[in-house]
Amino acid sequence: MNIKEFDRVQLSFKPMQVDDEKPKQQNLSRAIDRSANERTFLAWMRAAIALMAFGVVIIRLRVVQMPVDYRQAIGWKLGLIFSLIGWVTVLISTKHYFTVRHQIDHDTYNPPDAMVLFFSFAVGLLGIGVIYSILAIALSPSSSVIPD
């Protein structure tokens, strides 16, 4: 074997390197994903608390100012709906948190479009209800909101 052949053979065999960084990066990535999942869960909890609190505020405002015409007494219904949507938000977000956590642990996570659409639709309906309630109060004959 001459020197050229020896150099060619020697250059083709590089020492094997063990990549210890890959498991650490996977664990760090999983920890980051879990933290993001927890922050999302806490954001849903804040939204649920806000919805329930807004429902209580609507009911309390309706108790302070009783409507003259009881057919227009929709404030307590709207407050109840807000509180129920808040409660349902707690249940769904808790289930979603554990589902995503399981998917992160098994590397099978897919973002849920249906949940985002459901809550967007629910909050949009609540907004329409609030606007209707405000207009019903403001346009009633005994209202002092819009002067004659």
Over residues 21-47, the pLDDT tens digits come to 556 667 788 888 889 989 999 998 999
Confirm whether 9 is domain-assigned: no
Contact criterion met (CB below 8 Å) for 80 and 59: yes
Q: What is the pLDDT of residue 102?
A: 92
Is 75's pLDDT higher than 90?
A: no
Q: What is the pLDDT of residue 43?
A: 92
| Mean confidence (pLDDT) of the chain | 76
Confirm whether 113 is domain-assigned: yes
**74-81: average pLDDT:** 79
Confirm whether 73 is domain-assigned: yes
Predicted confidence band of residue 62 (pLDDT cuts 50, 70, 90): low
Confirm whether 31 is domain-assigned: yes
Give the structural domain span for 108.
25-138
Confirm whether 70 is domain-assigned: yes
Is 65's pLDDT higher than 60?
A: no
Please give the Cα distance from 146 to 17 (Å, whole number): 79
Predicted confidence band of residue 147 (pLDDT cuts 50, 70, 90): low
Please give the Cα distance from 62 to 59 (Å, whole number): 5
Instruction: Provide the percentage of residues in the chain whose pLDDT is more than 90.
Output: 13
Is 48's pLDDT higher than 70?
A: yes
Confirm whether 16 is domain-assigned: no
Q: What is the pTM of this model?
A: 0.62
- Tallying the residues shown for the chain, one arrives at 148
**116-135: average pLDDT:** 82
* Tally of structural domains, the chain: 1
Confirm whether 97 is domain-assigned: yes
Q: What is the pLDDT of residue 76?
A: 77
Q: Which amino acid is at 98?
A: F
**74-91: average pLDDT:** 85
Confirm whether 94 is domain-assigned: yes
More confident: 48 or 26: 48
